[in-house]
Amino acid sequence: MASNYYSAQIKQCLEFGTRNQSRHLKTIHGHIIKTLPYPETILHNRIIHGYAKLRNTTYARRVFDEITQPNLYSWNSLLMAYSQSGNHLSEMERTFKKLPERDGVSWNLLISGYSLSGLVGEAVKACNTMMREGSGGFLTRDRNTVMYNSLMGGLLASGMVDDAKKLFRGMEKDSVSWTAMIKGLAQNGLEKEAIEFSGDEDGRLGDGSVYLWECTTCLWGLGAIKEGKKVHACVIRTNFQDNVYVGSALVDMYCKCKCIDYAKTVFDGMRQKNVVSWTAMVVGYGQSGRAEEARSGVEPDHYTLGQAISACANISSLEEGSQFHGKAVTSGLVHYVIVSNSLVTLYGKCGNIDDSTKLFNEMSFRDEVSWTAMVSAYAQFGRAIEAIDLFDRMVQHGLKPDGVTLTGVISACSRAGLVEKGQRYFELMTNEYGIVPSNGHYSCMIDLFSRSGRLEEAMSFINGMPFPQMRLVGSLYSAHVETKLRREMREKKVRKEPGQSWIKWKGNCTVSQRMTSQVHTWIRYMLSSRN
């Protein structure tokens, strides 16, 4: 009975979502450890699968290692964790080789992992091997479609649009295929083609909420109101009007097409609203000069007010957010933590740090979101020592930071030149808090080294990354240029305005072609040293 209860809890956490799915899943996992010393393999598998979906490879591996006799589902769940993270190719390949047996799921996870990492050649090789070894009976039509969907996603992510189209035309398609094609075309700047695909005569429009959401988001940049209304009609026909993601996308689409009344109709009809839908309406009303209508339409309950203020924070709209703040005070809802957190975030993002600090100090109860908002605000606006001090206080209070909090405190260390302290926080992220570093965390660390002029250490850090990327090396390029320029300008006794970057400085002195060439030579050398 207990196993069934916990399985249902994990399923609910993943399907319906929470404010922090990862934290919720860890809480459930903690209860399982306390109440079930020897959980069944099926429950272990559920936990691994949950961590895999949330891309927490560290915890997925820990749980897997606790299983005395892992079955194929256990292995595939672990493989899924490495495959979906996009950062653990070597672990994914090692796990795949260790599989006691392989089925279609195993192969498709491998192909998907290669595709997500942009290694289309490896994905194609895996497809060919899978086809050769397909005598095991797992190459059914459905399995073929899953395999081709993964491969097509990799082609689109790598910009190989023509090859993706060719594959798409010759394969059996499902709603995932159409969704991937539309999303991929839009991400490659081919929004009009994406819309043409969405209206294909196959009648595939409306096979799923994700598909409809992708169709709607493709219309944002086009102002394509006619096509948008067609998608809206399809949403109604297929009973997806109550889906919060589809509804939010429709609201945003109508607002961007300057059809505020249509947007308001969709918004009012939504049973559930999120920050995306609120942000779209606040922006839409503001741009059409009808800001007062947005405020008057807010019902006096703490959840709605919190969402509305968060929407203002998203677009750094201090004027609108202040009006909602007044409404929160007069209605007596300002002391609800969701409202207070939104206000702290709003004033922090808008640079009103003193107001943000005052609100934070007045809160009778603070959760992890409260502390994170304040740490991020201090870090963003250069008050690094206060950000670091607040982070340490948060940990002393027994609260566990998340990835956003760590981004804020490492960024603060970068601004203050505290390299060793920033390194320590980065190590604590995985060793103490079980957080898998994201691209943003790696960027902060490279910035930490670069700002202090420790470019060799920054390159060494990139060499040790599980997924080195040119974009991150680009920040080193900027740091190197900045250092060179600063030295040359100082030698020529050239002054610039305080706070202005030497790279962006447009004075009487021009950067020589020789220097640019030297920088390119340096960066090529640093990259070649990786191989």
pLDDT in tens, 191-217: 667 666 655 534 444 445 555 555 555
Distances (CA, A) of 241 to 251, 252, 268, 283: 11, 14, 11, 22
Region 403-414 average pLDDT: 91
Residue 356 has pLDDT above 90, yes or no: yes
Q: Per-residue pLDDT averaged across 318-323, rounded? A: 84
Q: Is residue 268 part of a domain?
A: yes
Residue 107 inside a domain? The answer is no
How many domains does the chain divide into? Answer: 1
CATH of the domain at 213: 1.25.40
Taking a C-beta distance cutoff of 8 angstroms, is the pair 156, 184 a contact?
A: yes
Does this model's pTM top 0.75? My answer is: no
Cα(120)–Cα(447) distance, integer angstroms: 30
Is 140 within the bounds of a domain? no
Share of the chain above pLDDT 90, in %: 17
Q: Is 294 exposed, middle or buried (0-12, 13-18, 19+ CB in 10 A)?
A: buried
Q: What is the per-residue pLDDT for 378? A: 94
Flag whether 263 is in a domain: yes
Q: Which two tokens stand for residue 64?
A: 């897997």
Give dist(CA 28, CA 23) in Å, integer: 9
Q: Are 313 and 345 in contact (CB under 8 A)?
A: yes
Mean of pLDDT values over 62-70: 90
Provide the pLDDT for residue 28. 82
Position 233 in a domain: yes
Within-domain flag for 185: yes
Structural domain boundaries, residue 200: 173-288
Better-scored residue on pLDDT, 170 or 355 = 355
Does a structural domain hold residue 146? no
pLDDT band at 375 (very low <50, low <70, confident <90, very high): very high
528 has pLDDT over 50: no
Average pLDDT, the chain: 75
